Amino acid sequence: MLCELCGKDSTFCKKVTIEGVQLEVCAECAKFGIEAKKAAPKEVGPKPVIAQRLEVREKRARPKDVLEATEREELVEDYGARIRDARAQRGVTQKDLAMKINERLTVLSKIETGDMRPDDKIVAKLEKELGIKLKEKVTETQVTRTVGTSSMTLADLIRMQKD
Ligand SMILES: [Zn+2]
């Protein structure tokens, strides 16, 4: 079975309590059950043993276990209204705008009513033509896994695995 601390496949796993969390770990990691409690002081200097183990574990983790904070741009929900408003402010008709961005009127009309999500190319053209933003930054799965900082504890990791 897999060691719950370092992720190594071990034939023998032992139940220990590390940092207040009960884990089934390999013989190597079992040692840290007691050490971890003593080594509680601030993480200064060399990486604490637990952090090192977690780092190893992370490298061994299967892709689905790897949670990363990813930032991407996503189309705003009210894109239709934004386009309509910006267009109205400029006193441009749908037809004129469609011509300017070189798209069919029916396409623009559907986009403005929210019936059609514009693709990146159209979004870029509309943003440029109308001087508006149709995308916003979205951050997904905000889990900081940077080893060596105090941002993630062993307990966090265990909780994540259970989600
Ligand atoms: Zn281990």
Domain residue spans of the chain: 13-67+145-162, 71-139
- Spacing, Cα 73 to ligand 1 middle (Å): 39
Backbone conformation region of residue 4, classed left if phi is above 0, alpha if psi is from -120 to 50, else beta: alpha
- Please give the chain's pLDDT, 163 residues, in tens: 889 889 888 888 888 887 778 888 898 888 887 544 444 555 556 667 777 787 777 777 655 555 666 778 899 999 999 999 999 999 999 999 999 999 999 999 999 999 999 999 999 999 999 999 999 988 766 555 444 444 566 767 677 665 5
- Do residues 53 and 32 make contact, with C-beta atoms less than 8 angstroms apart? yes
User: Token pair 């440029």 is at which residue?
Assistant: 128
- Spacing, Cα 39 to ligand 1 middle (Å): 18
- Spacing, Cα 163 to ligand 1 middle (Å): 22
- Spacing, Cα 52 to ligand 1 middle (Å): 11
- Spacing, Cα 27 to ligand 1 middle (Å): 7
CATH 3.30.1550.10 fits 71-139, yes or no: no
N-to-C CA span, the chain:
20
- Spacing, Cα 53 to ligand 1 middle (Å): 7
- Do residues 124 and 103 make contact, with C-beta atoms less than 8 angstroms apart? no
- Spacing, Cα 153 to ligand 1 middle (Å): 16
- Spacing, Cα 3 to ligand 1 middle (Å): 5
Backbone conformation region of residue 20, classed left if phi is above 0, alpha if psi is from -120 to 50, else beta: left
- Do residues 22 and 157 make contact, with C-beta atoms less than 8 angstroms apart? no
